[in-house]
Amino acid sequence: MEEIKAVILAAGKGTRMKSLKPKVLHEIFAKPLLGWVLDSVSDLPFKNESIAVIGHGAHEVEEYLNKNYKYVKSTVQKQQLGTGHAVSQAVPLLGDYRGNVLILCGDTPLLTTKTLTDLINFHNSEKSDLTVMTTIFDEPFGYGRIIRNSENEVLKIVEEKDATSAQKEIKEVNAGVYCVNWLKIKKAFSELKNNNSQGEYYLTDIIKWARGNNFKVSGYICPDNREIYGINSRQNLAIATKIMKDKKNDELMSQGVTLVDADTIYISPETQIGCDTIIFPNTYIEGKNIIAKNCKIGPMTRLRGNCEVGEGCKIGNFVELKNAKVAKNSNVCHLSYIGDAEIGSNVNIGAGTIFANYNSITKEKKKSKLHNGVSIGSNSVIVAPVEIKENAFIGALSCITKDVEKESLALSRSPQKEVKNWVKNKKEKI
């Protein structure tokens, strides 16, 4: 299997985000921007390794990487001296690596594994030394224009402010992603110049350097220009979220899932949903989940990740699921919270049921298990960890803190008390 390494630029502050949080840690569907990029790289059909160049908020970004991507190496760009300088920080980690290196930004969450794969395959088929990803915009204002020669090789990138009137008419623009033959191109990062108004070392200058050293430079056109969308502001974040949401919704509907009001339904790209399932309005599903066929979800429902919903289930309105498995033909009725739980088949969970799974003192989360055929009465509390066995019945308003045997009735409510004529007596005293 071909080996490839990736350098991901994640050092920027993101001033326009107006945030104390590093830009690459802002989230879409509860996953940071950097996570989306890292996952796109890690899913490549090549043996791969990623290096994240971090800077602003380095401690927070490194903590995120250590928790979620232990295999990703990181290096710190202590001074923000430009994108070319950022890549140079990874040079010691790459050393004399013999192979291709992907260079991309950590704030482009819409970039897909397929597009990166196509870029690499194009780079190899063209026997190119450096391939820059490009795309086409009808209105390319603000982007660097791609200048090609008669042989279709890329000569240079001209930024908007430096472009002539004729060059501004060019619709092919720089997407900011590169595939390079590392042994041939790595020297560029020690020879880039910063003689520009910003005093920075620009990554785009490696094209000029490569051409000057007689290396072949190609351009791969990304067919979907939405994928190169970068995040620099809260407005950008909202637009990217909507693009990701709409793309997933279209995919699901083409696979036989009904979305009653697609404009108000947000479903993570990492969620799988079977045919003939109906998703009702204002449902929000984040993280990785599997929802089987013939289910009804919502309205006003939230799945927070790591959930499995079996065939024929109904997850009612104002229900929240987190780290929960619900087997086939079970119902979770409205106004309920199911967290860290395993629910069997043909289970009915009454309205207002809460799974108390978190100990705020020890910071521990415990799991509860409900076997097949269990029925939970409304407004009950299941205090983890407990196991409720087959066909047990929990009376309404119960707080369950111990295991319940199969076919049993469990109750923990106070006896009902009635005071005769209490209202009448109160009125007579007024």
Catalytic residue annotation: 334
Q: Are 392 and 374 in contact (CB under 8 A)?
A: yes
Calpha distance 271→215 (Å, rounded): 43
Residue 6 is inside which H or E element, if any? Answer: strand 3-10
Q: Hey, which residues does 369 pair with through a beta bridge?
A: 342, 387
Ordered alpha helix ranges (H), 21-57:
33-42
Which value, in Å, is the radius of gyration of the alpha carbons in the chain? 28
* Residue count (the chain): 430
Spell out a b/e string for 19-34, using b for 16 or more CB atoms within 10 Å of the CB, else e: eeebbbbbbbbebbbb
Give φ, ψ of 30 to 5 degrees.
65, 15
Q: Are 117 and 220 in contact (CB under 8 A)?
A: no
User: For residue 118, what are the contacts with CB-CB under 8 A and spacing of at least 6?
Assistant: 220
Calpha distance 13→18 (Å, rounded): 10
Instruction: Using CA atoms of 161, 162, 167, 169 in order, give the dihedral in degrees to the nearest 10.
Output: 10
Burial of 360 (0-12, 13-18, 19+ CB in 10 A): exposed
Q: Please give the biggest Cα pair distance in the chain.
A: 103
Three-state SS at 321: strand
Calpha distance 165→54 (Å, rounded): 37
Amino acid occupying residue 428: E
Question: Cα angle at 87 between 82 and 91, to 5 degrees?
Answer: 140
Residue 230 per-residue DSSP state: P
Omega within 30 of 0 (cis) for the link into 385: yes
Tokens of 150: 């008669």
Amino acid occupying residue 81: L
Tokens of 129: 């030394």
Q: Are 376 and 359 in contact (CB under 8 A)?
A: no
Residue 57 per-residue DSSP state: B
